[in-house]
Every structure is written in C-alpha cells, then in structure tokens.
Amino acid sequence: MLVRRCAVLFLEPREDLDVDWAALFAGQGAIGASLEWVALAPHLGREVVLDATALAALGGMSLTLWRERAEYEARFGAELVDSLLASGLLVSDAPEFAALRERDEVLRSQHWRPLSATAHMFSRWADMRVDKGMQFPSFDELVEHYGSPPAPTINRRDDGQAIALPLPPQAPLDATLFQRYTGRNFDPLAVLPLATASRLLQRAFGAQGQHEMAPDAFVLKKLSPSAGGLHPTEAYVLAQRVEGLAPGLYHYQPVQHSLEPLTLMSTAQTEELALRMVADQDWFVPAPLLVILVTRVERNFWKYRNHAKAYRALLLDAGHLSQTFYLLASEAGMPAFVTAAINEVDIEQALGLDPLKDMVVAVCGCGPASGAQDTVEMRYEP
Ligand SMILES: Cc1cc2nc3c(=O)[nH]c(=O)nc-3n(C[C@H](O)[C@H](O)[C@H](O)COP(=O)(O)O)c2cc1C
C-alpha cells in the first residue's frame, strides 16, 4: 500500500482557558490553561486533535511522493500510521481509503493557496443562529462592553495643509446612489414583477458579451469588474414571490439569461431555507428574491494558481456584484441587502455544492419595503 501526507495541513497549538476549581479552593490562581495540537486540513473540513508524536511523524512524511506504508510503519509505528490513515491526514491508494483520498485530490486539483483553503474551509457556518452565538449586539451594548469605538475616520494633516475640494454638483447617478440602503423591513406580501427581477439579474449577473481571448479561452463581459476578467461568481436564486416563477432554487445562466430550476418548493419551505441561509436574521426573510453568490474557485485559480492574492480577489469580486445588485434594486425603487453572516454548509447542501470547488460567499436580496421600521435601517436624509 502506498501512502503520502494530505496536500494541505496547518497546525494550531490551541489553548483552552477554564476555571480550575480545585486551584481556586486551594487559594491559588483560578484560571487553568490546557494546550493541544489541532490539525486543520481543509480537505477534511473538520479539526483533528493530535499528540506530539503524531505531529513529529507528519513532519517527516512527504505530501508529494508516494511511499510504502511499511516504510512509515518502520519509522513511526504501525499504530500511528493506522490512526493517521483513519483520520485522513495520511492518504493511501488502498480502496478502503478511497473516499478520503478523493477529497485530497479534489483539493489538489483546484490550485488553492494552502492558507486560503484553510481560511475558507474553517470559517464556514452550519446551523448558526442569531441567538446562538452569532454576535449581533446593539451599539449601546457594544459601547457598554468595549467603550467608544475608534473614530469614524482620521486626519493625517492637522496643520492646515489639507486641500479643500469643490463640492460635487448633482449628476444622474446620484438619484440611484442616494436612494441605496440596506433594507430590513421588506413587504412580506409583495410579488416582484418578472420584468424587474429579469433586469436585476441580467444587469447584475448577466453577460453583456463574450470574448475568445485565446483559442478556447472565453471571458464574459459583465457590468461589474472581476479579477483577471474571469467572473468566477455564479448567482443562484431563491425565488419566494416572483411573478410567474414557481418558488424554489434556481441557477441563473448568465449567457443564456435563463433560470435553471434546481429544487421547486412551497413558500413555507423557501421561507424556512431563507431563514436558515441567513442564520436566523428574520428581517431578511420576507424579501421576495434572494441571490446566493457562489464562486467557482477553479475558474480564478486556473490563472492565479496557488496565488497569494487570489482568495482576496474572489471576495472583492463578490462585493462588486453585490453593490451593482444594490444599485439596480435602488433604481427599481427597492431596498436590497447583502450578508456574510450565512450558513454556508446549509447552503452547500441545498445547492449540492462541494466547498472545495464552490465557495459560498454571500447572500443578497431585495424587494419592496413594507413601510414599517421594525428593524433599523439607515437611509440618506438630506
Ligand atoms: C460584507 C457585508 C456584510 C453585511 N452583513 C450584514 C448582516 O449580516 N446583517 C445585516 O443586517 N446587514 C449586513 N450588512 C449591511 C450593513 O449593515 C449595511 O451596509 C450598513 O449598516 C450600512 O447601511 P446602508 O447599507 O443602508 O448604507 C452587510 C454589509 C456588507 C457590505
């Protein structure tokens, strides 16, 4: 049997603090600290606790070259090799370990930067809720706990040398820019006209052209910028109340400008899914149209292989799309939202996505406002 170490492995000496009751009653220091080695291997997507022997052994195993299992057994002991194989930190060509080896191969095939893959895989939420650890305190509570925040901005010259700029005159984009705000009070009964949804999707996520940059190397022209012109972000739609569309999940095809039905649902099911997607932020649930931004990492990493800036570029790409989406919603007289406080794992399951290939980045949505102010919003006030 041949074995090698998994492709990406980071090790964290994790410290857990706890109250040491015995020490406390003995009149000594009350805080105990325990340290353990935690292995973060993105192809597993879960943490593995290691002892120092396993740690030393992993440091002596190649992640590239396949070696005979017997060789590592002779060096590190059969029991340790068995446990590393079972955990997936060591991969093998044996059929009984095929599933773990395939996860490692998927990771290798995508050309992730190792730190980026680790940050991505270990910052996803599953079944997180607003009331279950997601930090959502009010500004009053924040000030009470942390004191005043740092000033909203800074001056770098306070010697009178700053150059005053002329005030900008009104211009056509202003109407849309000043109307934009994050909506948290959507009309729960409003139905989005199909024409409105169609314009929003086409202008925010659709292709306005297609160019062959080299033989069989196509790029799409869109109305937002994208690193390398690669546009790796796909838009998935959760339609709740869109005229003429059955409620459910769709993939927006940006070249054909069409919606590909994935799962049709009842409205109760779309509401339940919307709530789960946005980690119980119930103020977003009544939006008739939600859009999930999902990056196909291999599209960007095809060019930016194992690249220090690639992961940052993916997040920036999604941010640009969300702003364009906001502005189109504003133009149509509607508030929009974007949130990164999302249950990526639940979304991956609903859409049938592999997080090593498809990165769920954010959820946007929009719809007519209800007119109520049950949840705080920040509109521009002249
Ligand atoms: C990356 C990002 C994440 C956000 N996440 C949330 C969120 O989880 N919940 C929420 O209610 N608003 C969220 N927002 C919206 C911001 O709170 C909002 O943009 C900010 O308060 C300014 O208000 P405005 O958009 O109306 O100008 C997010 C915005 C951005 C850009």
Residue 116, SS3? helix
In angstroms, what is the span from residue 24 Cα to ligand 1's centroid? 44
How much is the pLDDT for 34? 86
137, 145 contact by CB (below 8 A): yes
Query: Which listed CATH number (3.40.630.40, 2.60.120.380, 3.40.109.10, 3.50.50.60) goes with 173-366?
Result: 3.40.109.10
CA distances from 274 to 40, 207, 303, 305 (A): 30, 27, 34, 34
Q: Is 269 in the pocket of ligand 1 (CB under 6 A)?
A: no
Domain segments of the chain as ranges: 2-110, 173-366
In angstroms, what is the span from residue 337 Cα to ligand 1's centroid? 7
Q: Which residues pair with 242 in a beta bridge?
A: 192
64, 53 contact by CB (below 8 A): no
247 alpha-carbon distance from chain centroid = 24
Output b/e per residue, 258-295; b: 16+ Cβ within 10 A. ebeeeeebeeeebbebbbbbbbbbebbbbbbbbbbbbb
Residue 67, SS3? strand
How much is the pLDDT for 24? 72
To test ligand 1's pocket by mutation, which of 181, 314, 315, 338 has the most ligand atoms within 8 angstroms of CB? 338
Rounded distance between C-alpha atoms, residue 28 and residue 22, angstroms: 9
Protein residue with least CA distance to atom 9, ligand 1? 339
Q: For residue 52, give every residue at least 6 positions away whose Cβ sits within 8 Å of its Cβ, in sequence order, or none.
A: 37
State the DSSP string of 286-299. T-SEEEEEEEEHHH
CB atoms within 10 A of CB 188: 14
3-state helix, strand, coil in the chain (%, to 5): 35, 25, 40
Q: Is 279 in the pocket of ligand 1 (CB under 6 A)?
A: no
Protein residue with least CA distance to atom 3, ligand 1? 339
**Contacts of range 314-319, beta carbons closer than 8 Å, 24 or more positions apart:** 314/227, 314/232, 314/233, 314/359, 314/361, 315/361, 316/227, 317/224, 317/225, 317/226, 317/227, 317/231, 317/232, 317/233, 318/233, 318/293, 318/361, 318/362, 319/362
How much is the pLDDT for 337? 98
Rounded distance between C-alpha atoms, residue 122 and residue 134, angstroms: 16
Helices (H), the chain: 21-25, 52-58, 69-76, 78-87, 98-110, 114-121, 139-146, 172-179, 194-205, 267-277, 297-301, 310-331, 344-351
Rounded distance between C-alpha atoms, residue 177 and residue 300, angstroms: 30
- DSSP 8-state assignment for residue 150: P
> Per-residue pLDDT for the chain (382 aa), expressed as one digit of tens each?
999 999 999 999 999 888 777 777 777 767 778 899 999 999 999 999 999 999 999 999 999 999 999 999 999 999 999 999 999 999 999 999 999 999 999 999 999 999 999 999 999 999 999 775 555 678 898 999 999 999 999 999 999 999 999 999 999 999 999 999 999 999 999 999 999 999 999 999 999 999 999 999 999 999 999 999 999 999 999 999 999 999 999 999 999 999 999 999 999 999 999 999 999 999 999 999 999 999 999 999 999 999 999 999 999 999 999 999 999 999 999 999 999 999 999 999 999 999 999 999 999 999 999 999 999 999 999 8
In angstroms, what is the span from residue 341 Cα to ligand 1's centroid? 10
Protein residue with least CA distance to atom 5, ligand 1? 339
CB atoms within 10 A of CB 335: 23
Rounded distance between C-alpha atoms, residue 29 and residue 21, angstroms: 9
Q: Which two tokens stand for residue 182?
A: 């994050």
Rounded distance between C-alpha atoms, residue 354 and residue 358, angstroms: 6
